[in-house]
Amino acid sequence: MKIAPLLLMLACGILSLAARADHEKASVPVLNGGILAKGSLVEGPCVLALESTEQDIDLGSVSLAQLRQAGDVTPPVMMELVLDNCPGDVQAIASPSQLRGATWVNQQTAVKMTFSGVAEPTDNHYFRLAGSARGAAIRLEGPGGAQVYPDVIGEPYFLNPGRNSVALKAQLWKTTEPLEPGDFRSTINISLDYE
């Protein structure tokens, strides 16, 4: 009969170990989880060339006599934005004359440009001057000679694969305010949205 108490003690010990193990399992949180990786592979847009990221346009010394009446403009100063590594099919057209009225060519990248800056208070189609000069504003022309307006998304400009130059023009425009001589500057930021 000595075996019965020993078996009873052994059974109680096993049960207590099992209960303890169950308790430890219950108190340790089970960490289940997963990883969801998602995204898409896209053809990257063009890269603004280093020489185009910051540009200083010198409109020179302008005589007050050049801007006598509201709406008078100075001769334009040319500048260009250079876009590199533009994607697209190498079979994209080489000449705009080949478009024949079409507005889109398959596999051809287009960019819409937005020029952001402070609009001239007397006419929000122009960019305001900062500095001591008064009575004038900056007028910008985009590709094709279309006027660029502050904070307005422009029409799409179609790009060829590789390197592209986008010609822009800047000039002073006489406002309705009286002219006052002095120095001027205007900061205009450009954002590019690709289609």
Token duo for residue 163: 């390197």
Tell me the percentage of the chain whose pLDDT exceeds 90. Answer: 47
Kindly provide the residue ranges of all beta strands, DSSP E only, lying in 44-161, ordered along the sequence. 47-48, 77-86, 109-116, 119-120, 123-128, 130-131, 136-141, 147-148, 157-159
- pLDDT number for residue 167: 93
Q: How far apart are CA 165 and CA 184, in angstroms?
A: 28
H or E segment to which residue 165 belongs: strand 162-174
Q: What is the distance between the alpha carbons of residues 190 and 166, in angstroms, rounded to a whole number?
A: 12
Domain boundaries in the chain?
47-194
Give the SS3 label for residue 8: helix
* pTM, entire model: 0.69
- Confidence grade of residue 21 (pLDDT, cut at 50, 70, 90): low
CA gap 119, 142 in Å, rounded? 17
13: which residues sit within 8 A by CB, 6+ positions away? none
Q: Express each pLDDT in 67-88 by its tens digit.
A: 999 999 999 999 999 999 888 7
Q: What is the pLDDT of residues 85-135, one digit of tens each?
A: 888 754 444 455 545 444 455 567 888 999 999 999 999 999 999 999 999
**CATH numeric code, 47-194:** 2.60.40.1090
Kindly list the distances between the CA atom of residue 154 and the CA atoms of 42, 68, 106, 113, 151, in Å, as whole numbers in the listed order.
24, 30, 21, 5, 9
CA 88 vs. chain centroid, Å, equals 19
